[in-house]
Amino acid sequence: MSVSPLPEMALAINSEHRRTQNQLHIHIACILPAVAQSLAGHVAEIRGDPAKAINLSFGPARHIYRVITATGLNGADSPFAVVAAMPGARAAMADHSIAVVGSTTPGTYYVLDALADGDNPGAAEELLDQTCGG
């Protein structure tokens, strides 16, 4: 049985620099409506090739994220494998923050990657709405 992702749901994995418990953990919540709207507005540009990710700014601080699509969440489509395949990412994966967002296309996800550097602390958690609009 195939389950389609909900476009309003997302998961986020912060970079090592933003892990308050010094261990990898996954945040799951609704995506901020502005993030979902921006992704939907760029759907024609976003492709599945990690070498051709597009840059979009998101979150309250407008941090830059590289965005691609994936058709699964394991094997070659695992968010970690997808980000590692992006140019320059493999050597410093601990510096990357990853978000996975459902899409309105059945079986397709958005994978967002932000590098912790400069003013970006690498906290994809910033893209989540913990109250789910409440």
Residues 80-105 have pLDDT tens digits of 999 999 998 998 888 888 999 998 88
Asked if 12 and 27 count as a contact pair (C-beta separation under 8 A), the reply is: yes
pLDDT beyond 80 at 48: yes
* Of 120, 91, 84, 104, the residue nearest 39 (C-alpha): 104
pLDDT (0 to 100) of residue 16: 78
Residue range 103-119: mean pLDDT, rounded: 86
pLDDT beyond 70 at 34: yes
pLDDT (0 to 100) of residue 69: 95
Q: Could you give the CA distance from residue 84 to residue 81 in angstroms, rounded to a whole number?
A: 5
Q: Could you give the CA distance from residue 68 to residue 42 in angstroms, rounded to a whole number?
A: 11
Digit-coded pLDDT (tens) for 7-30? 688 998 888 766 666 667 788 899
Other Cβ atoms closer than 10 A to 108: 18
Q: Could you give the CA distance from residue 102 to residue 112 in angstroms, rounded to a whole number?
A: 11
pLDDT (0 to 100) of residue 1: 39
Digit-coded pLDDT (tens) for 60-85? 888 899 999 999 889 988 999 999 99
Among 3.30.70.60, 3.40.50.1100, 3.30.360.10, 3.30.428.30, what is the CATH number of 9-129? 3.30.428.30
- CA R_g for the chain: 14
